[in-house]
Amino acid sequence: MIEHDDTISGRIFDRRILRRILPFARPHMRLFGGATALLFVLFAVEISIPGLWRRLIDGLGDAHSKAATSGTPPLQSALEAIAPYVGVFVAAVIAIGFFRYLQEVCLARGGQEVIYDLRKSLFAHLMRQPLQFYDRQSVGRLVTRVTNDVENVSELFTSGLATVVYDVLKVVGVAALLIARDWRLGCVAVGLAPLLALVSLWFRRHARDGFREVRSWLGKSNGFLQEAIAGIRVVQVFGKEEKVARKFQGITAGYLAANIKTVFYFAIFFPLVEGAIALDQSGVLFMGAQGVESARLTRGMFLEFWFYLEFLFNPLRELGEKYNVLQSAMASAERIFRLLDEQPAIQTPADAAAPTRIRGEIELRDVHFSYDGKTPVLKGLSLRVAPGETLALVGATGAGKTTIASLLGRFYEVSQGAVLVDGVDVRRHDLKNLRSSIGFVPQELFLFAGTVFENLALWRPEVTRDRAKEALRIVGAAPFVERLAPPGTAADRALDAGLDAPVAERGVTFSVGERQLLAFARALAAEPAMVILDEATANVDTETEERIQSGIRALLRGRTSIVIAHRLSTVREATRIAVLHRGELRELGSHDELLRRNGLYATLVALQFGEEAAASAVSRAQAAARSES
Amino acid sequence: MGARSGPCQLPTARLLCPFLRAPHQVNVFRRYLAYFAREKRRLLIGFLCLVPSAFIDLQLPWVVRGALDKLGTEPVESFLLPTLALYLGLAALKGVFRFGMRWFLVTSSRQVEANLRNDLFAHLESLSFPYFNRTKTGDLISRATQDVEAVRMFLGPGSMYIGDALLRIPMALILLSQVQPAMLVAIGISLAVLSVSVRKLTPKLHAVSEAQQKAVGAMSDRANEVFGGVRVVKSFAREEAAERSFDEVSARYRSVSLDAISARALSNVFFSGAKDVTLLILFATGGVFYYLGKATVGDLYLFADYTVRLYWPVFVVGWMVGMYPRARAAAQRLNEVFDTKPEIVDSPRASAPAEIRGAIEAKNLTFSYAPDRPPVLKNLSFKIAPGETVALVGRTGSGKSTLAMLLGRFFPVPPGMLFVDGADVNDLAIRSLRGAIGYVPQDHFLFSDTIAENIAFSENGPADAQRVARAAADACIEDDVSVFPKRFETEIGERGVTLSGGQRQRVSIARALYSDPRILVLDDCLSAVDSSTEERLLGQLQDAARGRTTLLIAHRLSTVKHAHRILLLEDGGVVEEGSHGELLARKGRYAQLWQRQQLEERLAHDGEPLQAETAVARNGSADP
């Protein structure tokens, strides 16, 4: 499942990948089509310039002799003679600048649009993946996919497809033109050109390998640096600065050697390219001189030919570099599509029960679960929660409390046993219906930029403004939301206006207590049949504590609820308390029953709920024990 | 930028001004120029290759020009073959020199980079703990990589290109002035304009690239946040919100990129347009001169070719000058690191005793990490005899670890407050002081290397297998290691096996034991070791101690109960002192802590119900 970069084929043209990329390009076809069309125009204009030199040279020779006989001042007649050529040249230069700008912008804009869309759908796809998917993937790798790899794909468009078209056009067009002009000269020029392509491709291979080696050494060097700085205390404590520095020098030496290897290829590449070009030019000079001598060619034609050669050389010189860019873009695209091919493992089954209103009866039947398939987290847990009942879960960290909440929302699949809601296995429920019938209240409310109302509604269409206001009133959050309204708002409209107050990112402007109340309102707004409350552990003042407690009471009233309890008052009010220890149910009963049993729960109460509660619990327990005996 | 002085008024001089400006600014690079000076042989050969390569490069078009002018006037046989031979010969010769230039100049700059990296690393290692507490690791890494690279680029290949340009441009000007000075003036002006505008545009282009980089950074931060917190996102059905918030940064990136695209496209048009315009000017003036019979076809060709050949050097001059502020900033940042002096060095009267016995004494030791911060240790006084095992216990923040760090003088110790063998630690040579202390830090940091290499970290040469095995046995890690097929040669860390927290702690202990130190400091390093192993380990340490002073810092009191003496620290001072038994009998703070921990441990280890009497005992006297 976890892909490795090495398994990517690295083909330069993979039809399968191109076919999949195409739908992303289609909506922006006007940009790409325009950019490609502009390339043809650009080519036509650029290729006209050498012709101007020919005309200037060949045409002016005659004009000069004519002017000499007519008697006009030489400079004036010179200006008259060259004016048309210069005019065309000026037009050409302006056109080239204009079209080149337009072309570049169209193409790059198209590329940006495509990667924006691709990024969006990749991210949305990742968001649909279940938690198991994230357990397997490293966050860093996923971030690289949505940033660097998507970025790389844009190269397919900018230095890829359109540029390839242009380069092919240039090479083929100019080659045809050269041969058409003078087949002997053309054949020599075109015949010697593959030498340049060979040099370029030879360099490509070595440069790529060389760069890989450099990158790998650089990675090692940076990794060592990172580790040595992180561990600098150990290094200094043992006084081993010199020893570690020597090791670093060893890595630097490797890095240097790899670098020097690539310097060699670069140093030899440029002279080779120029040598290949010089060879081609010599051939052209040789044949051209013969042509001029035999009057088959004029000197202007020869010079035109010579200037054309640049059109042939440039794309070939850059062939190797473009090849590498395209190859890496293809590899990135392949990695992205592999991710897009991952199907969400947790989905509503085809034969799911029709989404009906859920009453909220919960049953865990011999549930076994493990996150990694090795370490068991729940070991054969069975529990029933009747509709409307409040069950408190207590136990040390790692007892499996939060896992139960996750399994109920089917964020993970049980490895054995079953979780049933209203007597139906959660695996047979409509997933959306199931999750939206549960109100999750986390320890820490996650707020995002937007208004108060948006934060309460979370895009659930059933949460109307009236419902949101109602929920705020019920949990007792209305007073402080009213205070968010702009000053001068009429009292009866204050709550409504408060709903539209902006929430800063992560809700820094709210106090701990306010955040709790908002979290309650958010869960309550959708009128869920079930509530899962993970109580916050933060210490708050007595007044806030009371507000929170009454908020909790309002939230839980009449709903099946599971509370991961951290407060004594909450456990006391629960219908029943389940004491978990290492994935097993140890004790079950009401607060008083369990205290009387003087077992694990009594210990937990003693530890978790402070000295005072412990003392009273123990003395009560002992009093009870004495009265029994 | 400041007021410009005389020579900077001229356009060409202004281009070069940053290089010629006030000496204190050039000083920024002095340190790095010295590195290049060490490569002077290679640099000299490189520049000796550069001169002929530039010269020959400018000769090539003259050969073609000669042929063009002879065409039609002289028979081909008379000049063609010698011309071709000359052309190819010169091209080959130029290739050889260009190779030499690149090879010697670029490799020397790579050598400089390597030396600079090594020296920077060695310098970093010499800096003291307070520096690393102030500085983010990420910052240091980016200085050691990006800033070194920026300086290398500027002084290395940069100076090659500049040298090439400064040689080639005047040479070309001299050569062309012999042909047709008027045409030369025309293209000269055009190219000068190009160079100045490149200089102006480079910082702008750099700014849009930086904006783009920032937007990418924001995007990956957001993705990191969402993927990292995917559990929250999922359990709140907040996927859509996450998508929306990612879309926000992604859209911002798109708009920044579109700006960058426009800016880049515009400057590209400008840069390549400048070449086209120069050729156009040449076309017009050359056409007139040609018409008037004052220029030949060969001359036109020569000028056109030179325009193309000069384009890059002219461009590079502008570009390098535009890049100068960036390179200077990088050099300044590097200088900051290099100029930072280690805060803790040997004092002039430091002595290096042949042997340290291990007596430790604190006299009214008061210490704070910064003058404006409250003291961590307040009037702390105690005496530890050589060979004694003393435990330091107390809450987080009570100053236990600070004391351990001060003992090795890892932070500046106020004079006259902390003594080893009766000598102020400030008067002991750092090397002998630290060499005598075997320190097991709290975070049990291990290197990605073999287990043997980690244990024998204090060894300069190869690891002594026997001593590694003995240290491992004493630290109770031998059995764990024997399970691995490659035993002590097993790689740990990223590329190797992952050790558990307890195993890491014990390897870290073995590392401290390897050198058989006179003072052993165990800083809460047994937290992840289970109780039975801990018991065994502590027993073995005691047996192997042979008169070693041991300072045992612990959070878990079961760890310290066998110590000769226990010091209970609170708010930087000793509040209780005595053996385990004595302290329990006192029924003070220590006794309270002890009871509470017993309770916690039983719960954590077996989940056994609490016995009423234990629960009562923790309240001191509430026996009914």
Q: Structural domain boundaries of chain B? A: 28-179+327-340, 360-577, 587-624
pLDDT class of A622 with cuts at 50, 70, 90: low
Residue B612 near chain A (CB below 8 Å): yes
Closest by CA position to B582, among listed B574, B590, B593: B590
CA–CA distance, A220 with A224 (Å, rounded to integer): 6
What's the whole-number mean pLDDT along residues B175-189? Answer: 82
Find the CB nearest A226 among B132, B137, B258.
Answer: B137
Query: Is A93–B458 a contact, with Cβ atoms under 8 angstroms apart?
Result: no
How many other β-carbons are positioned within 10 Å of the β-carbon of residue B179?
18
- pLDDT in the model for residue B616: 35
* Cβ contacts of A274 on chain B, cutoff 8 Å: 91, 94-95, 98
CB distance A607 to A614 below 8 Å: yes
* Contact status of B119 with chain A (Cβ, < 8 Å): no
Note whether A9-182+297-340 and A360-437+529-589 share their fold: no
Q: Which residues of A, range 338-397, sit inside 8 Å of B by Cβ?
A: 396
CATH (one of 1.20.1560.10, 3.10.180.10, 3.30.1330.20, 3.40.50.300) for B28-179+327-340: 1.20.1560.10
B175 interface with A at CB cutoff 8 Å: no
Cβ under 8 Å to A: B residues 126-165: 126, 128-129, 132, 137, 140-141, 144-145
Looking at the partner chain, which of B140, B287, B292 has a beta carbon nearest the beta carbon of A86?
A: B287
Between A411 and A105, the more confident residue is A105
Predicted confidence (pLDDT) per residue in B553-572, tens digit = 877 777 777 778 888 887 77
- Cα distances from A460 to residues A143, A352, A515, in angstroms, run 28, 22, 20
Q: pLDDT class for A8, splitting at 50, 70, 90?
A: low
Q: Is pLDDT above 70 for A65?
A: no
Which range has the top average pLDDT, A455-464, B457-466, B509-518? B509-518
At residue B607, the pLDDT reads 46
Residues in chain B closer than 8 A to A120 (CB atoms):
243, 247, 250
pLDDT at A82: 81
CB-nearest to A232 from B87, B132, B437 is: B132
At A2, is the pLDDT very low, low, confident or very high (cuts 50, 70, 90)?
Answer: very low
Please state which architecture CATH assigns to domain A446-527: 3-Layer(aba) Sandwich (3.40)
- Is the pLDDT at B45 greater than 90? The verdict is yes
Q: Which of A416-425, A575-584, B324-333, B344-353 is predicted least confidently?
A: B344-353
- In angstroms, the CA A400 to CA A584 distance is 8
CATH class of the A360-437+529-589 domain in this structure: alpha beta
pLDDT per position as a tens digit, B536-551: 777 777 777 677 888 8
**C-alpha distance from A301 to closest chain B C-alpha (Å):** 11
Domain ranges of chain A: 9-182+297-340, 360-437+529-589, 446-527, 591-629
On whether any CB of chain A is under 8 Å from the CB of B435, the answer is yes
What is the band of A624 on the pLDDT scale with cuts at 50, 70, 90? low
What residues 542-601 of chain B have any CB closer than 8 A to a CB of chain A? 599-600
pLDDT for the residue B10:
41
Tell me which chain B residue has its CA closest to the CA of residue A443.
Answer: B232
Q: What is the pLDDT of residue A586?
A: 83
Considering only the beta carbons, identify the residue of B107, B261, B612 that sits closest to A109. Answer: B261
User: Which CATH architecture is the domain A9-182+297-340 placed in?
Assistant: Up-down Bundle (1.20)
Would you state the pLDDT for residue B89? 93
**Closest by Cβ to B609, choosing from A221, A303, A599:** A599
Give CATH for domain B360-577. 3.40.50.300
In sequence order, what are the residues at sequence separation of 6 or more whose Cβ sits closer than 8 angstroms to the Cβ of residue B156? Answer: B36, B105, B106, B108, B109, B110, B112, B113
pLDDT reported for residue A11: 64
Summarize pLDDT for B83-141 with one digit per residue, the tens: 899 999 999 999 999 999 889 988 998 898 889 888 988 888 888 877 877 777 667 77
Nearest to A146 among B84, B223, B293 (CB): B223
Which position has the token pair 């000079």?
Answer: A285
| pLDDT above 60 for B236 | no
What span, in angstroms and rounded, lies between the C-alpha atoms of A147 and B219?
7
Per-residue pLDDT tens digits for B339-368: 888 877 777 887 777 788 888 888 888 888
Distance of CA B481 to the CA centre of its chain: 33
Query: For residue A151, what are the contacts with CB-CB under 8 A and spacing of at least 6?
Result: A115, B216
Q: Are A521 and A475 in contact (CB under 8 A)?
A: yes
Q: Are A240 and B457 an interchain contact pair (Cβ–Cβ within 8 Å)?
A: yes
Asked whether residue B605 carries a pLDDT value surpassing 60, the answer given is no
CB contact under 8 A, A228 and B126: no
The predicted pLDDT at position B95 comes to 92
8 Å CB contact between B453 and B447: yes
pLDDT band at B510 (very low <50, low <70, confident <90, very high): confident
Is A250 or B2 the better-scoring residue by pLDDT?
A: A250
**Cβ contact (<8 Å) for A448 and B137?**
no
Q: What is the mean pLDDT of residues A492-498?
A: 84
Average the pLDDT over A403-410 and give the result. Answer: 83
Which pLDDT belongs to residue A6?
39
Amino acid in the structure at residue B198: V
**Hey, what long-range contacts does A22-28 have (CB within 8 A, 24 or more apart)?**
A24/A114, A24/A117, A24/A118, A25/A110, A25/A114, A25/A157, A27/A113, A27/A117, A28/A110, A28/A113, A28/A114
Whether A535 shows a pLDDT value over 50: the answer reads yes
Vertex A341, ends A337 and A343: CA angle to 5°?
A: 155
Q: How far apart are CA A309 and CA A174, in angstroms?
A: 8
Task: Give the per-residue pLDDT at B494.
Answer: 56
Give the mean pLDDT of chain A: 80
- Interface contact flag, B280 A86, Cβ < 8 Å: yes
Could you tell me what percentage of chain A is helix, strand and coil, using 3-state DSSP and rounding each to the nearest 5?
70, 10, 20
Q: What is the pLDDT of residues A223-235, one digit of tens each?
A: 788 778 777 777 8
pLDDT of B238 reads 65
- Give residue for tokens 């930028």: B1
Arithmetic mean of pLDDT, B404-421: 83
Q: How far apart are CA B310 and CA A398, in angstroms?
A: 72
A621 touches chain B (CB under 8 A): yes
More confident residue, A546 or A261: A261
Mean predicted confidence (pLDDT) in A397-413: 79
Kindly identify which residue of chain A lies nearest to residue B118, measuring between CA atoms: A249
The pLDDT of residue B348 is: 81
Please tell me the least confidently modeled range out of B49-58, B134-143, B410-419: B134-143
Q: Residue B362: which H helix or E strand, with range?
A: strand B360-367
Beta carbons within 8 Å of A195's beta carbon, 6+ residues apart: A276, A279, A280
Cβ B67–A245 below 8 Å, yes or no?
Answer: no
Q: Which range (A579-593, A606-620, B321-335, B535-549) has the least confidence?
A: A606-620
Q: Give the distance from residue B22's alpha carbon to the nearest chain A alpha carbon, in angstroms.
A: 34
Which of the residue ranges A354-363, B349-358, B492-501 would you say has the lowest mean pLDDT? B492-501
Which residues in chain A are closer than 8 Å to B239, comparing Cβ atoms?
127-128
User: pLDDT higher for B519 or B370?
Assistant: B519
Q: For residues A172 and A156, is the Cβ–Cβ distance under 8 A?
A: no
B94 touches chain A (CB under 8 A): yes
The length of chain B is 624
Contact between B114 and A78 using a beta-carbon 8 Å cutoff? no
Average of per-residue pLDDT across B445-473: 82
In this structure, of A174-183, A523-532, B47-56, B392-401, the range with the lowest mean pLDDT score is B392-401
Q: Read off the pLDDT of each residue in B175-192 and give the average, rounded to a whole number.
A: 82
Residues A146 and B223: beta-carbon distance below 8 Å:
yes
